[in-house]
């Protein structure tokens, strides 16, 4: 059941779909919009509130859709605008919200705006991108380093200037200091909202503005050029907050719409709070805070704590443990347990967190990170940095629908990335028949979160933490939840925290309640839920 009120996004569970790898409807080996629509019943059966669609816009596909050449056009490999309209209609029939990626910080070099801007210093779009003169010795204007490797400046002989690109050289940064750019971006937002989408996931939302004085970033210890400086002048400029207000003003014209921002910075949690506090910026934001290799109680306590007091109490976080840019959590977390147990452990932790949560396709199946050969790589990050960094293809392999199909039910032909034979036994058709599967566990975990107002909306209090275990409570009105996690390979008994009359509603590994004590086995977790309400909407009226 979906909440109809304007605060539906608080505590919601959103399912990320990477269209290229979800389902192929036309037999070209690449997933598409019709393929997504054909699998929406499966998504709805997970119990999630909606979907987040990764880019499907016109693009040369150097960065697989995050290099947009036309923000208001569907790339033919994904289908047509009619296909998109059908996807929206079917999603809404099923009670699913549709959130789409918006890549506004930069474009592809093929974009008409850049093609005009690069021609001269006097054309109508001359100021739409970030241009700068060379230093007296001809070198780049700043020392800023790109996350995709190398510096952030490329020479354009037609203008006799450098242009800025925080990512690939073929992805020039828009100049948000230019008022016309801001108006053009907001017009793109209106286009898709009028089309019926329920909101946006804003890619690299803290990259919209740059320091106009072009000051150099200061150094810091790191293991690559991009991590060997503090990114304080090419991102996170104060003007960002002013433009976020304009985005929120636009969203407020479409009741029930929602915007989440992706933040990557040296101070992730601080920026998440700054960008979401109050009611005039983003509704919520997520960062890479929980997408690292760390899996320990202190790490999660540190992520949760800032949202309990001060400015953080008026902000709202979002969390993801996997996505299209990082290794899958079942492989990334080096816990001493089988990968299926790690996958369930991670799911239990995700649904227990305060905030809006994102589940990446295949996470509900316990998919592991694929280890691809160099010749199979498609990601420019992996191709350029092999073997030190194998890129992002390993988390982007296809969704396995059928175990006995040559191409795992994804397509009738060889997919754009290799078939991972190890994923065959994780297929949807097999797991749907197994009550002990990761898929069955995911459905149950999501159902618990959806039915318990405390898990969706409640405050969070850490009750116990040591080097191995974390136990916290969630409370909202008369509804409550107790969640516990043992990250270690050794059993742990915690006394006096559990009502002996209650039993876990969800458990991973070995969990034993003995009187008021609870014993957690190695890499184990539990959720104990007390819920007097019959539906997940029961207390939404009091949510502000």
Asked whether 349 and 333 are in contact (CB, 8 A), the reply is no
Q: Look at residues 117, 24, 35, 30 and name the one whose alpha carbon lies nearest to residue 65.
A: 30
CATH of the domain at 292: 3.20.20.80
Q: What is the pLDDT of residue 496?
A: 82
Same domain, yes or no: 409 and 525: no
Give me the catalytic one of 49, 63, 83, 203: 203
Q: Look at residues 226, 244, 235 and name the one whose alpha carbon lies nearest to residue 264.
A: 235
The reply to whether 467 falls in a domain is yes
Rg from Cα positions in the chain: 23
CATH of the domain at 537: 2.60.40.1180
Q: What gap in Å lies between CA 12 and CA 29, rounded to an integer? A: 32
The string of pLDDT tens digits covering residues 335-355 is 999 999 999 999 999 999 999
The reply to whether 158 falls in a domain is no
The reply to whether 470 falls in a domain is yes
Q: What gap in Å lies between CA 477 and CA 185, rounded to an integer? A: 41
Same domain, yes or no: 334 and 406: yes
Asked whether 526 and 341 are in contact (CB, 8 A), the reply is no
Largest CA-CA distance found in the chain, in angstroms, rounded: 78
Task: Report the relative pairing of strands 284-287 and 479-486 from DSSP bridges.
Answer: unpaired
Q: What is the DSSP string of 497-526?
A: -S-TT---SEEES-EEEETTEEEE-TTEEE
Structure tokens at 459: 């405050």
Helix spans in 81-204 (H): 81-93, 112-117, 179-195
Same domain, yes or no: 499 and 402: no
Same domain, yes or no: 405 and 465: no
Ramachandran angles phi, psi of 173, nearest 5°: -80, 135
Same domain, yes or no: 213 and 316: yes
Q: What is the pLDDT of residue 514?
A: 84
Q: What is the pLDDT of residue 536?
A: 36
Which three-class secondary structure string do you get for 258-295?
Answer: EEEEEECCCCHHHHHHHHHCCCCCCCEEEECCCCCCCC
Beta-bridge partners for 100? 53, 200
Task: Answer positive or negative: Cα dihedral of 252, 195, 47, 396.
Answer: negative
Same domain, yes or no: 430 and 342: yes
Structure tokens at 539: 């207390």
Task: Report the relative pairing of strands 131-132 and 469-476 from DSSP bridges.
Answer: unpaired
Q: What is the pLDDT of residue 244?
A: 98
Q: Which domain holds residue 499?
A: 458-542
Same domain, yes or no: 481 and 516: yes
Beta-bridge partners for 419? none
The reply to whether 6 falls in a domain is no
The reply to whether 156 falls in a domain is no
The residue from 396, 416, 448 where one domain ends is: 448
Verify whether residue 110 is a known catalytic residue.
no
User: Pseudo-torsion of CA 385, 386, 387, 392, nearest 10°?
Assistant: 90
The reply to whether 128 falls in a domain is no
Same domain, yes or no: 194 and 339: yes
Q: Nearest 5 degrees, angle CA 30-CA 31-CA 34?
A: 130
The reply to whether 376 falls in a domain is yes
The residue from 448, 472, 493 where one domain ends is: 448
Length of the chain equals 544
Same domain, yes or no: 345 and 370: yes
Same domain, yes or no: 91 and 205: yes
Q: Nearest 5 degrees, angle CA 131-CA 165-CA 185?
A: 80
Burial 83-97 (b: 16+ CB within 10 A, else e): bbeebbebbeeeebb
**What is the total count of domains within the chain?**
2
Q: What is the pLDDT of residue 346?
A: 98
Same domain, yes or no: 57 and 192: yes
Q: Block means of pLDDT (10 residues each) for the chain, length 544 residues?
A: 72 98 98 98 98 98 97 98 98 98 98 98 98 98 95 98 98 98 98 98 98 98 94 97 98 97 92 95 95 96 94 95 97 98 98 98 98 95 91 97 97 98 98 98 98 95 96 94 96 84 90 89 93 33 28
The residue from 448, 466, 489 where one domain ends is: 448
The reply to whether 114 falls in a domain is no
Q: What gap in Å lies between CA 425 and CA 439, rounded to an integer? A: 12
Verify whether residue 28 is a known catalytic residue.
no
Q: What is the pLDDT of residue 266?
A: 85
Q: What is the pLDDT of residue 281?
A: 96
Q: What gap in Å lies between CA 137 and CA 139, rounded to an integer? A: 6
Tokens 């959130």, residue located: 99
Give me the catalytic one of 67, 101, 173, 262: 262
pTM: 0.95
Q: What gap in Å lies between CA 514 and CA 536, rounded to an integer? A: 31
Same domain, yes or no: 385 and 441: yes
């Amino acid at each position: 059941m979906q909440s109809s009120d304007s605060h539906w996004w608080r505590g919601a569970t959103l399912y990320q779909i990477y269209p290229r790898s979800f389902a192929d409807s036309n037999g070209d080996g690449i997933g598409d919009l019709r393929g997504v629509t054909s699998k929406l019943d499966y998504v709805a059966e997970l119990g999630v509130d909606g979907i987040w669609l990764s880019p499907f816009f016109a693009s040369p596909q150097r960065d697989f859709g995050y290099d947009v050449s036309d923000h208001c056009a569907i790339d033919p490999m994904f289908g047509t605008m009619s296909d998109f309209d059908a996807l929206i209609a079917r999603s809404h029939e099923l009670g699913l919200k549709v959130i789409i990626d918006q890549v506004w910080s930069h474009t592809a070099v093929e974009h008409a705006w850049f093609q005009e801007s690069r021609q001269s210093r006097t054309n109508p779009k001359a100021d739409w991108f970030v241009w700068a003169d060379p230093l007296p010795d001809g070198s780049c204007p700043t020392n800023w380093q790109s996350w995709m490797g190398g510096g952030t400046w490329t020479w354009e002989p037609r203008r006799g200037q450098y242009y800025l690109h925080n990512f690939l050289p073929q992805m020039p940064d828009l100049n948000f200091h230019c008022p016309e750019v801001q108006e053009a971006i907001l017009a793109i937002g209106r286009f898709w909202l009028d089309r019926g989408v329920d909101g946006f996931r804003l890619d690299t939302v803290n990259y919209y503005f740059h320091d106009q004085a072009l000051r150099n970033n200061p150094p810091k210890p790191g293991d690559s050029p991009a991590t060997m400086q503090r990114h304080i002048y090419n991102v996170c400029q104060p003007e960002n907050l002013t433009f976020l207000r304009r985005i929120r003003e636009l969203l407020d014209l479409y009741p029930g719409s929602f915007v989440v921002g992706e933040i990557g910075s040296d101070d992730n949690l601080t920026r998440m709070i700054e960008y979401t506090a109050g009611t005039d910026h983003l509704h919520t934001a997520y960062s890479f805070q929980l997408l690292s290799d760390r899996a320990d109680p202190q790490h999660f306590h540190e992520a949760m704590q800032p949202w309990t007091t001060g400015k953080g109490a008026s902000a709202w976080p979002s969390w993801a443990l996997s996505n299209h840019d990082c290794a899958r959590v079942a492989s990334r977390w080096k816990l001493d347990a089988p990968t299926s147990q790690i996958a369930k452990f991670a799911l239990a932790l995700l649904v227990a967190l305060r905030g809006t949560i994102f589940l990446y396709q295949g996470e509900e199946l316990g998919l592991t990170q694929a280890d691809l050969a160099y010749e199979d790589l498609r990601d420019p990050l992996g191709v350029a940095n092999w073997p030190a960094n194998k890129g992002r293809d390993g988390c982007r392999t296809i969704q396995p629908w059928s175990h006995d199909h040559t191409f795992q039910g994804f397509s009738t032909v060889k997919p754009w990335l290799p078939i991972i034979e190890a994923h065959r036994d994780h297929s949807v058709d097999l797991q749907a028949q197994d009550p002990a599967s990761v898929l069955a566990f995911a459905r149950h975990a999501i159902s618990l979160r959806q039915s318990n107002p405390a898990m969706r909306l409640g405050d969070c209090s850490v009750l116990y933490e040591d080097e191995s275990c974390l136990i916290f409570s969630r409370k909202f009105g008369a509804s409550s939840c107790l969640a516990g996690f043992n990250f270690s390979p050794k059993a742990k008994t915690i006394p006096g925290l559990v009502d002996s009359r209650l039993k876990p509603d969800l458990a991973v590994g070995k969990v034993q309640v003995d009187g008021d004590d609870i014993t957690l086995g190695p890499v184990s977790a539990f959720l104990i839920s007390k819920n007097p309400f019959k539906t997940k909407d029961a207390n939404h009226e009091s949510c502000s």
